Amino acid sequence: MELTLCIIKPHVVTAPHTLKAIKDIIILNNFHIVDSLITAMTKDQVEVFYNEHKGKFFYNRLVTQMRSGPSEINILAREDAIRKWRELLGPTKVYTSRFSHPDTIRGMYGISDTRNAAHGSDSPESAAREISIFFPHFSITKWLRDNELISPVPGRNARANR
């Protein structure tokens, strides 16, 4: 069991049929929606979130697009969630997703390299960092422990478990 951060980008949130289609894909693929919020990102949140892309030619348009309206931000849980969600998303760039991966979310609903429908964390470290930006009180460790999905910390929980 693993957690990932899924962001349904603003251009999809304003298109109810597309939003529903993506939510259906999430459910059909056995993801559990652990937490969800619909929010217009602040400038600070976008800049921290996309820090790795600062200075790239598409950065300003990325920030503008992500701030163009509310996004739907979901913490998703599933076995192998990070890899599986990115597989369902498809390639970043719309030309590649449309032509080589037409059945993916970005292949079906991406409308440009920037407005490519949705986001998925690319590693457990990214998932933890990204979740903390939008759900600052959410503890991944606690969630996994409460759901009995990780072994207890040796020594510490051993006593509690007796």
Q: Which residues are catalytic?
A: 119
Counting contacts by CB under 6 A, is residue 68 touching ligand ADP? Answer: no
Long-range contacts of 81-85 (CB under 8 A, 24+ apart): 81/1, 81/2, 81/3, 81/4, 81/31, 82/2, 82/4, 82/120, 82/121, 82/122, 82/123, 82/124, 82/127, 84/29, 84/31, 85/4, 85/6, 85/31, 85/120, 85/121
Among 5, 41, 46, 62, binds ligand ADP (CB under 6 A): 62
Q: In what order do the strands lie in the sheet with 71-78?
A: 32-39, 71-78, 2-8, 118-120
Give 40 or 158: the residue with its C-beta nearer to ligand ADP: 40
Least distance from ligand ADP to the Cβ atom of residue 114, Å: 4
Least Å from the CB of residue 110 to ligand ADP:
9
Binder among 114, 134, 140, 143 for ligand ADP (CB under 6 A): 114
The reply to whether 4 sits near ligand ADP by the rule CB under 6 A is no
Among positions 7-36, residues that touch ligand ADP (CB under 6 A) are none
Q: How far is the CB of 46 from ligand ADP (least distance, A)?
A: 11
Looking at the Cβ atoms of 20 and 61, the one nearer to ligand ADP is 61
Is 96 a binding residue for ligand ADP by CB under 6 A? The answer is: no
Q: How far apart are CA 38 and CA 79, in angstroms?
A: 25
